[in-house]
Chain A
Amino acid sequence: MTAREEILSRIRGALGDTPSRPDVPRTHRQQGVHRPGTPELVRQLIDRLEDYRATVVRVAAEDDDAIGQAIADALTVRGIGQVVAPPGVPRAWTGRLADVVVDEASIDARTLDRIPAVVTGSVVAIAETGTIVLDGATVCGRRAITLVPDTHVCVVRAMHVVQTVPEGLQRVDPRRALTFVSGPSATSDIELDRVEGVHGPRTLIVVVAG
């Protein structure tokens, strides 16, 4: 018998003839009280992100030029002139930056490690938990580029902000490689005190637009 057959037969043996299957109650909230993109949700998202020590920049309109200005301002203050960006990021977002490397999958990790920042979009944000979801597609980029540079500038469109976790999961495609980001990298491993900044980007700047 192969290991596979043996384990499956052990499981069947352990369960006996009629393992009882319970009904799964799903009385938990499937959606929030606020519709996606409402000001209440944007406020809640910002509150959560700031609680995680992310930097939030608010841009009133979903206007690519205004977003580009906000990104340039946030990076200039930090003395950052070079960024990497996935090919799907609108030109206007990075137009004011001196040195923009458009990611082709050929950039290796060591090269990425020398680039101080990355600019990406996102596909959905969950207000209650302060979570931004990246799906690896053209506006978010492959996973390595949002991981290796030390500063991540991430644009969230207000219309993509939902209230609850179930709403967030319904809006993404599980067949993509997804990353759920809630604040900068952090650890609670020393005396269970939260410290921001370990292996992932230590600075997370979220531009909330619209």
Chain B
Amino acid sequence: MSTFLGMPGVPVRGPAADTAVGHLTGDRPFPAAARDSLADTQLRRNLAHATSTIRAKRAAVVTEVPDWEALRDAGSAIKADTMARLPELLEQLEANVVARGGTVHWARDAAEANRIVTDLVRATGADEVVKVKSMATQEIGLNEALEAVGVTAHETDLAELIVQLGHDRPSHILVPAIHRGRAEIREIFALEMPGVDPSLTDEPAVLAAAARTHLRQVFLRARVAVSGANFGVAETGTLTVVESEGNGRMCLTLPETLITVMGIEKVVPSWRDLEVFLQLLPRSSTGERMNPYTSTWTGVTPGDGPQEFHLVLLDNGRTRALADDLGRTALHCIRCSACLNVCPVYERTGGHAYGSTYPGPIGAILTPLLTGLTGGDDPNDSLPYASTLCGACYDVCPVKINIPEILVQLRAEHTEAHADRHRLPTAEAAAMKAVAWSMADPARFARAGRAAALARHGIRRGKPLLPLPPPLNGWTASRDAPRPSAESFRDWWARTRGPSS
């Protein structure tokens, strides 16, 4: 007998991520935040330049791989298989890490993960850590948690450094400072980087060299590093960090203690599976045939690198997303950022408008899947609507996540949550009901067509002449209203093709 509550075999959602801890929710809904970004012409120029550069590079290196589609199919299936056997794979990963001298911790949510990491850091007596760019630690707000106990976290990825020095927030998964142009970066370095040469130019090579000099001493003295992981191989206990600059290698190699925070969905079954992901990821993300450095390590390697290793496995809403067949596929994401770079919405609004660590198309599904939809005025409720459903994200996704389909499902879920909460249908639901009523009867439908033709006089250049009553004003606040034609189709048919039957 199953002691499970509810129907046997029916999936039960894990708890939603607590939005009060970490960075999964902004302070405003997407449309309000997007309006600010849209008004920022510098931001739009920076984004258009960067995204068009990366799109061209990605396209060129993807075309040269003859079996790209086979790799995508394999990647997608490996991830689906992983999700189906997640408990056994995590246990296997844990056993192998422990067998090789590592320690594994489990964190139900952001607060617990932060507590585990801050306790580990404090136990070493260190008052600073070096960090490799990691979405998971950004998601849980680890830097703030460390700061609260007096530990300084040094971000070492160039873009993260730009964000940290600029007292800014990341706006892209891969290139967190994508919203900054070289002149702005020069300004930030000149103002905020201790000991920087004031004659610094805005040449990218000069800026990169300044970052090298600035961080070198930090790397040489750091005793503790915190990283994320791109993949954790269950079969061997091997963890992987994919990077470019060598800051990752510094963190994974020089300190005495390494703490890696990894979402539970990042496990893959076997070493062999990496042959798929190490081809898909670099070409999709930076548009390179291979990223400059990929590091893999298994527990502790005697005489080489950190001699103390901790792996923190993080849930934080992932078991909520996992409970739904379709939503589960959002957990397949390998964080390449290709979907951001092709998204017409992201390209114009940038990442800050999404409010979450995860912006762009993947963020628009992953964030609400992790935090839940309230049907109220939670900013994340607006995310499933931050899309035109054009499908470009699905086309480029290396693991074939059908983002548009998940967006549509989340919209439906939001409509239901809203109705439950307000006992009033949403604008969409009311409109659909009205359409259903008029379409159910031919005469009514004909009258509706003629009424629309009259309404055309009320619209000029996409804007209604008189303010529309709610809920219609919600529609026209962010869109042009189409001008109905002078004659309905039925009237035109009747006039040109004989009497209607």
Contact = CB atoms under 8 A, between A and B. Distances in A.
Interface of A: 2-4, 6-8, 10-29, 48, 52, 105, 109-110, 113, 126, 128-131, 136, 142-144, 147-148, 165-166, 169-170, 174-202
Given A16-B323, A24-B78, A143-B253, 5 more contacts: A7-B315, A175-B100, A176-B301, A197-B208, A199-B219
Given A8-B91, A197-B208, A174 B303 contact: no
Nearest 9 A-B pairs (CB), nearest first? A200-B246, A17-B9, A199-B246, A198-B245, A129-B290, A189-B159, A185-B246, A14-B323, A10-B319
A6 B87 CA distance: 11
A22 to B, nearest CB: 5
Interface stretch (B269-277, B426-434, B445-453, B457-465): B269-277
B297 interface: yes
A177 B264 contact: no
Contacts of B207: 190
B292 A147 contact: no
A192 B204 CA distance: 10
A181 B292 contact: yes
Interface stretch (B29-37, B45-53, B359-367): B45-53
A187 B133 CA distance: 13
B62 interface: no
Given A11-B322, A21-B81, A192 B295 contact: no
Contacts of B289: 48, 128-130, 182
Interface residues of B, number: 104
B249 A197 contact: no
Interface stretch (B63-71, B140-148, B342-350, B486-494): B63-71
B441 interface: no
Contacts, number: 272
A110 B11 CA distance: 54
A177 B67 contact: no
Interface stretch (B176-184, B376-384, B410-418, B472-480): B176-184
B455 interface: no
B212 A24 contact: no
21 contacts: A11-B14, A13-B4, A14-B322, A15-B86, A16-B11, A21-B85, A27-B67, A28-B67, A109-B219, A142-B305, A147-B253, A169-B274, A169-B278, A174-B296, A177-B298, A187-B158, A187-B244, A191-B46, A197-B205, A197-B208, A199-B156
B246 A147 contact: yes
Contacts of B53: 191-193
Contact of B8 (A17, A130, A197): A17
Interface stretch (B105-113, B120-128, B190-198, B391-399): B105-113
Nearest to B202: A190
Interface of B: 4, 8-15, 46, 49-51, 53-54, 57, 66-67, 70-71, 73-74, 77-78, 80-81, 83-87, 90-91, 100, 105-108, 112, 156-159, 162, 175, 177-178, 181-182, 185, 204-205, 207-209, 211-212, 215-216, 219-220, 233, 236, 238, 244-247, 249-250, 252-254, 264, 271-272, 274-276, 278-279, 282, 286, 288-298, 301, 303-305, 313, 315, 319-320, 322-323
B491 to A, nearest CB: 52
B160 to A, nearest CB: 9
B460 to A, nearest CB: 41
Contacts of B86: 11, 15
B295 A179 contact: yes
Contacts of B291: 182
Contacts of A48: 289
Given A182-B291, A183-B292, A198-B211, A174 B158 contact: no
Contacts of B288: 182, 194
Contacts of A194: 286, 288
A177 B271 CA distance: 14
Given A14-B13, A130-B290, A174 B233 contact: yes
A63 B437 CA distance: 86
Nearest to A168: B275
Contact of A7 (B67, B108, B204, B323): B108
Nearest to A3: B106
B108 A197 contact: no
A28 to B, nearest CB: 4
Given A147-B253, A182-B289, A199-B250, A177 B305 contact: yes
B245 A199 contact: yes
Contacts of B233: 174
Contact of A198 (B70, B212, B297): B212
Of the candidates B73, B106, B238, B292, the one having the most CB atoms from chain A within 10 angstroms of its own CB is B292
A169 B246 contact: no
